[in-house]
Every structure is written in structure tokens, then in C-alpha cells.
Homo-oligomer: A and B are copies of this chain.
Amino acid sequence: MRYIVTITIALKEGMLNPEARVIRHALTNLGFPTEDLSTARLFRVTLDAADAAAAREEGARMCERLLANPVIHHYTIEVT
């Protein structure tokens, strides 16, 4: 069956995120004060799998092999 696996990859808590800091600063300068800002990458993968659990497992393997750096990233996976 065909599943859409949505993978969100973000820096682990406590990792410095200079990009987020710069964006937050720019937003403040444009008149948009914020209390916090974090960034993440999102991958939406369409794949064939036996069931939703298998699709989720496949997504996790993709993260570990290619998409995420386990030292600095954590990822969440949603299957629809």
C-alpha cells in the first residue's frame, strides 16, 4: 500500500542554531517580536509498504542512513 511518510528533522535541544538566531533578529528588526524561533527540515516521502508500521520503520532507516545526523539531529516521523 502507498503511504506518505512525513519526516521532520531538527537540531537537538541545546544545539546552537545560528540560522534561527539570525532569522529571529531579522524578524525583530522588521517589527515582528518573537519569544522563540526554531527551524527544521521537512521531507515528505511517498513509498510502498506493507502497513503503516513498516512505512514508519522505513522512514526511520532513511533518517539513520542519509537524512539526519544522529549526533546533532532528532527526527519525528508521521505516517498517513
**CB <8 Å contact, B40 and A46:** no
**CB <8 Å contact, B48 and A44:** no
A31 to B28, CA, bound (A): 45
Q: How many copies does the complex hold?
A: 2
A33 to B48, CA, bound (A): 8
Number of interface residues of A (CB under 8 A): 30
Interface residue from B2, B32, B37, B58 paired with A44 (Cβ < 8 Å):
B37
**CB <8 Å contact, A42 and B2:** no
The answer to the question of A54 belonging to the interface, with a C-beta cut-off of 8 Å to chain B, is no
Chain A residues near B (Cβ < 8 Å): 2, 8, 10, 23, 26-27, 30, 32-48, 58, 61-62, 65-67
